[in-house]
Amino acid sequence: MPRTLNERDIGILKKLAPELSDLVCEGSGHEFHSILPPISNHVVQDEKDFAERIGRLSDEDLAYLAERIIDGSESLGCMPPEDVESLAAQMEAKLSRDTAMRVREIYGIAEECIITL
């Protein structure tokens, strides 16, 4: 079931993409129901841009996103593997290896297949 973004979600979305004027996907005309896929698929120019934007997040914001990914309320669907790996790498550096591996597992990336960015 799609979720409605709360104030914290919107705050994180605005940190990642301050240029967004509203929370509606131009392609579908629907409001965003997640934070990461819209950034990955509609905002960033490339994987370097995505990694830079994820690097803007505080440890608390990353922990919040990790919790949402693990509980299933934040989607990683439709995201390219290199963006998920950038996210997991930031989580590993700022949170823990276990958290990063859990995110990778949820996305379906096997540890031995990960390319170091």
Q: Is residue 1 part of a domain?
A: no
pLDDT of residue 5: 92
> Is 72 within a domain?
yes
Mean predicted confidence (pLDDT) in 13-28: 78
pTM, entire model = 0.86
Q: Is residue 45 in some structural domain?
A: yes
Question: Range of 107's domain?
Answer: 7-113
Instruction: Tell me the CA distances in angstroms from 81 to 20, 43, 107, 111, one per residue in order.
Output: 23, 16, 8, 12
Percent of residues, the chain, with pLDDT higher than 90? 70
pLDDT band at 20 (very low <50, low <70, confident <90, very high): confident
SS3 112: helix
Distance, in Å, from the CA atom of 50 to the CA atom of 16, rounded to the nearest integer, reads 9
Q: Are 70 and 102 in contact (CB under 8 A)?
A: yes
Please give the tally of structural domains in the chain: 1
